[in-house]
Amino acid sequence: MADTIREYFTDLFRSSAPSPATIRKATGGIHTRLTEEMRDDLNRVFTADEIKAAVFSMGPTKAPGPEGFQALFFQKF
């Protein structure tokens, strides 16, 4: 019985990555909608002014980020 339980939970929490062929088959019909210009814009380095505008556009007391700080902390300091 212990072996059955162990095997069940081992299989339950095991991940199996799809093969590259499976990924190509699943995404083969999806066409790119980004132009070269759009890709270049997304890959460029952000300016300090853009980062400041993004930080100050957030609600100051909204949910904290992964580090636990609310936007107010970054807006203030």
Residue pLDDT, tens place only, 1-16: 888 888 888 877 777 7
Query: pTM score, two decimals?
Result: 0.47
- 34-71: per-residue pLDDT in tens? 899 999 999 999 999 999 999 999 999 988 778 888 99
The DSSP annotation for 1-42 comes to -HHHHHHHHHHHT---PPPHHHHHHHHTTPPP---HHHHHHH
Q: Which two tokens stand for residue 35?
A: 């132009």
Query: What local confidence, expressed as pLDDT, does residue 41 receive?
Result: 92
22 or 53, higher pLDDT:
53
Query: Is residue 21 pLDDT above 90, yes or no?
Result: no
